[in-house]
Structure 1
């Protein structure tokens, strides 16, 4: 029987696991994060720019699968929002922090520290402290983005290349004559473009990715999706055709067709073999991402305005090289479907390629150490950590661990859709119930 749980990572997944262990009367727990300020917020909800909005309406953002209106009630009481609102991410961080505070008692300890090892007795921190635990849960969130081919950060002057957009101000030291290159055109690039704009940067921004696709927008007033309970009669590789057929019949068009798959996406992924999943990642993932993870209308309006003003441009192509120059960086790149190399003078390059999960490329001391000794292993497609259906990690020999689990985006190899609140809340709820031996607990008093 589990008596004490060490939760490594105080972002959404780790915090919600702690909250549910308390709700379910489960074992005592220690919630550990490198930064006290990030507990209950993590990277996603630590954003201080009000322009960074959730890309899901408030109605879909409850922390609990057994209390669908929990966030809407909190929002209405604190800020006057409604179910259809797209609220700032910083408010969602406030919600998580208050939810944790509402249930916290002496069964939960908050700890600031850097976990460096999982031991037979629990975990060991970088400063030498040891925390005893008979169950350790990795809730470390995404790994930082990898540096794309063609760029050698060591060959560029300090400040010209930002490997992680959340570690520094991308506008610092720039003026109106400068150009910033965003590597990537997805949600991270959108966030950084908004951050540059909010900071007063008046120069030009170029967002570059292999296909140049940018996220679509949510549309107000569309008919709600009719959620599916059955799996489509096609594999992942045939999903596009199936969605086109469904979109033609749906009052809400392709948006409703895509949203209708939410209840069965993980099952569809699980029903596909490795080769089919690999083909999906190689050919369809970029199109899935821009249709599935859409922008709040207010955010889309701001991005459209920046594009119309000539301050932001989305282009398709591939980086060929980056060389230091006196004013900045000479970027060589090849436009999509072209052979000739072009050159672009930029003052700064920001890596917006998005979070990664390849254990074989991580320099995180904890995960690299666990992988090095065979306690964890990459999933088959190197999207994250290999786990079973109960979130227990699988070691290098293929054995399932009884005392080490993993939750959150690093389990995407087995689940695929496990980055948004609706999926994460279910995963953490299920694990908390199992560790607490709970059958069902309602949300009374929350």
Structure 2
């Protein structure tokens, strides 16, 4: 029997970033159960890492017209922007602005909820299933919260340190695990080189942050293939949209390559967007693994694009010689005086290159391997067998209703998971359009809502 929370039940949402905030908002809009939204870092409430750590120069990668937090009100964000004179539906707005939008919306819902939605700050260390029903949520301060069910909205796990880098063996301050740290450019001069490990969106953020902080040295971004995100293009012909999936995921990989050769990767990726989750769900694990090996790098750089003004800034940095991208594999990192000699091998070559780096920044992007996580809550849930990694180690294994699947393959009715940590089951669940739909769907199930629409904001 499927567990559905009634209007007097209590749901604890662990994680107050984008996913958790939208779930809480939608629960209230649907007249659903009482909810407690827990976030361990107050500045990240409603904003998460993506919108709280952003520099004003960091822009959304999607135009405002597709960034409404509410699937039933697609112009909600545009109206909010226009009321404040900060843009229109075609604008790529600063991520800090979007964070303010989310926080304002959450605050308004809390005020109108009459106590049904409460906010709590603290770190959740455990979630225990209670024999008589419900869950008991343990906090780092020793307190506990009783609830009928819990939802993991953990966002992304921080990137793993590349195995070739051993931070404790390097001089202090030469390795940065946080690409959005405001001090990644401090203590550096115009003759220094910063190496960014990774060439995707995270590396772009780090390069722009270094530039904004006045760094005048060299920036080298290195990844296995050296692929960097493409720009959004105005006026391009629309991609052909597939009416239904054509073949299995392996056939789709071949299709993407053929379409990319004829019409470009952008068209090949765009036309599959409406059916991506359907294709992924239908594919067995070996096919998914082949997709990740052969198509994912190209998919990512064409799927998650840069705002034109951001792309212009990146191009200017490349043209000036400040920023360069390279394809290669890191071999080792050794101390060289007060700096680091980073040895890496260019793709397709045998001879390695040594780059003297004043700082190395981990820009490999978010990870999802639960078994490599040091998070106390994740370690507790895995040890208890309540959750398990998905077969490809992309995140938490869930069923089609976002319910966690435990060690023995049993679906846990009292524990759900939403957001990027469910990418193993959905693949496309990292962008706003996907997460807002997922949080909407789960809120309706938990609220036993059988109608379409929600309370206006």
Using the size of structure 2 for normalisation, the TM-score is: 0.93
Match of residue 252 from structure 2: 239
Moved more, 394-403 or 156-165: 156-165
Match of residue 185 from structure 1: 199
Match of residue 105 from structure 2: 99
Match of residue 361 from structure 2: 350
Output the CA distance in 1 between the equivalents of 2:75 and 2:328: 43
Output the CA distance in 2 between the equivalents of 1:174 and 1:279: 42
Match of residue 52 from structure 2: 46
Output the CA distance in 2 between the equivalents of 1:237 and 1:9: 35
28, 42, 55: which one pairs with 1:36? 42
Q: Deviations over 1:198-238 (max 9, x none)?
A: 0111110000000100011101122444544411x243333
- Structure 1 position 59 matched with structure 2 position 73: no
Output the CA distance in 2 between the equivalents of 1:157 and 1:35: 29
Output the CA distance in 1 between the equivalents of 2:339 and 2:173: 10
Match of residue 225 from structure 2: 211
Output the CA distance in 2 between the equivalents of 1:292 and 1:315: 21
- Structure 1 position 68 matched with structure 2 position 74: yes
Moved more, 79-88 or 261-270: 79-88
Match of residue 15 from structure 1: 21
Q: Quick check: 1:75–1:81 contact (8 Å CA) kept in 2?
A: yes
> CA shift at 1:244, angstroms?
5.6
Moved more, 66-75 or 163-172: 163-172
Output the CA distance in 1 between the equivalents of 2:339 and 2:30: 55
SS in 2 for 1:79: coil
Change (3 A) 1:246 1:179: closer
Q: Quick check: 2:390–2:425 contact (8 Å CA) kept in 1?
A: yes
194, 200, 211: which one pairs with 2:214? 200
Match of residue 362 from structure 1: 373
Q: Quick check: 2:30–2:455 contact (8 Å CA) kept in 1?
A: no
Output the CA distance in 2 between the equivalents of 1:305 and 1:81: 25
Output the CA distance in 1 between the equivalents of 2:218 and 2:79: 41
Output the CA distance in 2 between the equivalents of 1:111 and 1:41: 15
Output the CA distance in 1 between the equivalents of 2:45 and 2:312: 32
Match of residue 437 from structure 1: 448
Q: Deviations over 1:279-311 (max 9, x none)?
A: 111121101101111111001000000000000
SS in 2 for 1:371: helix
Output the CA distance in 1 between the equivalents of 2:261 and 2:190: 46
Output the CA distance in 1 between the equivalents of 2:149 and 2:353: 54
Q: Quick check: 2:331–2:343 contact (8 Å CA) kept in 1?
A: yes
Output the CA distance in 2 between the equivalents of 1:222 and 1:83: 18
99, 108, 111: which one pairs with 2:117? 108
Query: Structure 1: which 5+ runs fail to align?
Result: none
Using the size of structure 1 for normalisation, the TM-score is: 0.96
> CA shift at 1:176, angstroms?
1.1
Q: Deviations over 1:129-154 (max 9, x none)?
A: 11111111000111111111211111
- Structure 1 position 139 matched with structure 2 position 153: yes
Output the CA distance in 2 between the equivalents of 1:341 and 1:443: 59
Change (3 A) 1:209 1:175: same
What is the RMSD of the two structures over their aligned residues, measured on CA atoms?
1.7
Output the CA distance in 2 between the equivalents of 1:211 and 1:74: 40
Change (3 A) 1:136 1:443: closer
Equivalent runs, 1:39-438 vs 2, <5 Å: 39-104=45-110, 105=113, 106-119=115-128, 120=130, 121-167=135-181, 169-225=183-239, 227-231=241-245, 233-243=246-256, 254-438=265-449
Q: Quick check: 1:317–1:335 contact (8 Å CA) kept in 2?
A: yes
The number of residues matched between the two structures is: 443
